Structure 1
Amino acid sequence: MEDSARPTPADSSELPNGAAEPEAVPPPAPGAPAPAGGGGGIADDSEANAGLGAEGEASRPFTMRELLGELKDGGEAAGGRSALAEGNGIGSAGAEGASQDSLQLSSHHDVAMELINSVTGVDEEGRSRQRILSFAAKRYVSAIERNPEDPDAYYNWALVLQESADNVDPDSSSSKDSLLEEACKKYAEATRLCPTLYDAYYNWAIAIADRAKMRGRTKEAEELWKQAIMNYDKAVQLNWNSPQALNNWGLGLQELSAIVPARDKQTIIKTAISKFRSAIQLQFDFHRAIYNLGTVLYGLAEDTMRTAGPDVSPNDLYSQSAIYVAAAHALKPNYSVYRSALRLVRSMLPLPYLKAGYLTAPPADNTIAPHKHWERSQFILNHEGLQQANVSESPSSKSLGHMGRSKKYIKVAVTDIVSVSACSDLTLPPGAGLCIDTIHGPLYLVADTWESLDGWLDAIRLVYTIFARGKSDALAGIITG
């Protein structure tokens, strides 16, 4: 699926919508920041989908890209007669089953086949693609007729139905919804037969989310979003190492928060933040999750501004939001959607730095000093690293390289960082411990709260990730202008 961007006007009060991506599906909510995401998609987990069964039959889940390529290649190998011609022939990979693919379908499968065959595509490429999908559907119906207990056949058929829904004319929402509903039924059957089929839960959640999007901010949409969230939850239980599922889970929660009563919104938003943050921790350069975390924090800042909540300053939330948007833009400078969002939030950064705040630190020349010698002081972070600010000077009036002539200050260059982590150590002063392991040895600092620590961890890791990806100049351009 190709990336596309739909930026809103530069003077808009909401962040622009993101680019199309298989793992990002919800639409922007009115009055709230729009997540990075666009059309629905199909899981593409090649590691989980390795190997074909004998004679080309489906012995495990296909990805849709793999499915289309395998079927098309099989048709072209059959003496030049394409498997697409009438939708009832098959290529050399499955010639043994040709007569079975033409068998009369039971009434149990008629509805789904009629829906697939009713899709013609909006152009010649779409029509050709749909003929492949129609043929594939017959193949999986045949497999189910032979073995009704085959979860992979149900899963692959659900993929076909879900992909067919993307080929439906945009004006025919009822037809698209019907195809997605049938896909959901097949995913339900696949997971009943094989409760550990991660890909089925993941793509089932995407199909449900697509159905929810078509219903706006209604009670029915609310129930569908809750179902999608449950399936993302199940997918993550089966495969915790999936940043895409965590990102989608966060997006679903973000959408749900726009529908539920106000009393429930804050709890859901905080859960969404935790999912985006977990996705980033699994993949530090996952720019879509980084951007989505920025949008949800921006929305939280807007809500806090309206309700004047006492827990956190809206300015702090705006500043946090800007950090993630800036990081996403630095990782993908050519994405117009990130560029548009950055224009809105850049002034919310503590320029010319990415982050400024307080940490408790030991003396620079004695990092194992007793607690009484540790001091709470201001630190600043930019594309070059982390530095303790001169407490007698305003950090906004100094450059990182010309501070503290009369006293030693802690400075960590991004090039020296090995790892960054939270730590709980009784030898540290009270608070939330932060360990920055460098080539010169570890440096321990203490944040005021664990929530504050999360912000420092993310910011330092993002700066290092941007450096490691060779994008420090992009970040420098953002914060120095």
Structure 2
Amino acid sequence: SSGESMRQFSSHHDVAMELINSVTGVDEEGRSRQRILAFAGKRYLNAIERNPDDPDAYYNWALVLQESADNVDPNSGSSKDALLEEACKKYAEATRLCPTLYDAYYNWAIAIADRAKIRGRTKEAEDLWRLAILNYEKAVQLNWNSPQALNNWGLGLQELSAIVPAREKQTIIKTAISKFRVAIQLQFDFHRAIYNLGTVLYGLAEDTMRSGRPDVSPNELYSQSAIYVAAAHALKPSYSVYRSALRLVRLMLPLPYLKVGYLTAPPANNAIAPHTDWERSQFVLNHEGLQKADASGQPPSQSMDRGRKPTRIAVEDIVSVSASADLTLPPGAGLCVDTVHGPRFLVCICQLLLFIFSIEVQIILYVLQHLQMESVTGC
């Protein structure tokens, strides 16, 4: 009957409000925040009583329950899991009423993932991770341009891979890698996805080493892992997690030496030399600087530096690398390396090579400069 349905409706929602009201918060700021959440929860409950088919009211109420779960004092009697379970029910109702509500699927997946984390590496946790992954997939289907959802999808797969039988693990890991890569393609400086890709590659290297039948060289995987961890640290050097991870993988980084092809450069210490004096020679970039290479392709030694005074720009002096249209440069694609001592100009063969060179060098220099800073500070 309709009266019985109304009683069940009221009882069900009373449970959610009781859970919200039971949260005290861990400090005064938390208690103040919880009072606001309790007020908001009551408001959304009233909105649902006026219109039971309002998906936004269910969605916002779910957010209140989810934020209340984050506000739970571990020493209190409040149940974080019970709050998250109620939040999941509200998200389910919101998506039933509006199947295209991207934010509801995304936050629902986060709530499920938080419930899975509480359960450790159990069969129940595995089922919850699979459900979270399905919701991240649905969120991405509704909004493909969401690097955060893709990153979380990858994390969910990574967590699931630690629980499933060994025969399933590698397939899940490779799927996680693909999600992190797409997230980075959508947002090239997304340091969390970059770091997560580094950690998942490290785990894959460990598994490959143990299996004894590698599809890819474990050393290659370790090297790739180290590059991503270093890049994440370069983007966020203040993150202690990235600092610690970099210490672990620093020795796995590929040798800090990159041939960058041929460039035309003026004689050292003579930036305004006539075009006939500019020389085309091979340049290399390593952890110390951008410099001319000798006939063997190696950077000149310090003793050779004193005798020949080759073109050399120290990494720590470089501010930026960009294309230059300066009309006083010799024919070719102009390159300006701005340094703390002023700009240095070089010329590349063609515009396409210049574009590729300048983009790659900017990324590598950014990583190298931060790595150098890290070693200088002794961290």
State the TM-score bracket (shorter-chain normalisation).
Answer: 0.7 to 0.9
Aligned-residue offset at 1:317: 0.7
Equivalent residues, number = 314
Q: Identity over the aligned pairs, expressed in percent?
A: 77
Q: Secondary structure at the match of 2:119?
A: coil
Aligned-residue offset at 1:348: 0.8
Please give the alpha-carbon distance, in whole angstroms, between the structure 2 residues aligned to 1:303 and 1:284: 28
Match of 1:31 in 2: none
Q: Secondary structure at the match of 1:120?
A: coil
Aligned 1:43-442 pairs, distance under 5 A: 106-171=10-75, 175-353=79-257, 415-416=321-322, 440-442=350-352
Match of 1:429 in 2: none
C-alpha distance after superposition, 1:257-296 (max 9, x if no partner):
0000101111111111111111111111111111111111
Is contact 1:225–1:252 with CA below 8 Å preserved after alignment?
Answer: yes
Please give the alpha-carbon distance, in whole angstroms, between the structure 1 residues aligned to 2:46 and 2:361: 53
Give the gaps of 5 or more residues in structure 2. 1-8, 265-282, 309-317, 325-347
Query: Higher helix proportion, which one?
Result: 2
Is contact 1:291–1:324 with CA below 8 Å preserved after alignment?
Answer: yes
Please give the alpha-carbon distance, in whole angstroms, between the structure 1 residues aligned to 2:219 and 2:299: 17
> Taking structure 1 as reference, are residues 380 and 254 closer, same or farther at Cα in structure 2, changes over 3 Å only?
farther
> Taking structure 1 as reference, are residues 231 and 462 closer, same or farther at Cα in structure 2, changes over 3 Å only?
farther
> With structure 1 as the length reference, what TM-score do the two structures score?
0.58
> Taking structure 1 as reference, are residues 171 and 338 closer, same or farther at Cα in structure 2, changes over 3 Å only?
same
Aligned-residue offset at 1:465: 4.7
> Taking structure 1 as reference, are residues 340 and 234 closer, same or farther at Cα in structure 2, changes over 3 Å only?
same
Aligned-residue offset at 1:235: 0.9
Aligned-residue offset at 1:310: 2.9
Is contact 2:323–2:358 with CA below 8 Å preserved after alignment?
Answer: no
Q: Structure 1: which amino acid aligns with 2:350?
A: H
> Taking structure 1 as reference, are residues 396 and 110 closer, same or farther at Cα in structure 2, changes over 3 Å only?
farther
Match of 1:368 in 2: none
> With structure 2 as the length reference, what TM-score do the two structures score?
0.72
Q: Structure 1: which amino acid aligns with 2:321?
A: T
> Taking structure 1 as reference, are residues 388 and 325 closer, same or farther at Cα in structure 2, changes over 3 Å only?
farther
Q: Structure 2: which amino acid aligns with 1:266?
A: Q
Give the gaps of 5 or more residues in structure 1. 1-104, 366-378, 406-412, 419-437, 445-456
Q: Secondary structure at the match of 2:352?
A: strand
Please give the alpha-carbon distance, in whole angstroms, between the structure 2 residues aligned to 1:351 and 1:313: 17
C-alpha distance after superposition, 1:396-437 (max 9, x if no partner):
9989x99xx9xxxxxxx983579xxxxxxxxxxxxxxxxxxx
- Larger RCO (alpha carbons 8 Å, 6+ apart): 1
Match of 2:370 in 1: 474
Q: Structure 2: which amino acid aligns with 1:264?
A: E
C-alpha distance after superposition, 1:82-133 (max 9, x if no partner):
xxxxxxxxxxxxxxxxxxxxxxx82231111111111111222211111111
Please give the alpha-carbon distance, in whole angstroms, between the structure 1 residues aligned to 2:290 and 2:161: 35
Structure showing greater Rg: 2
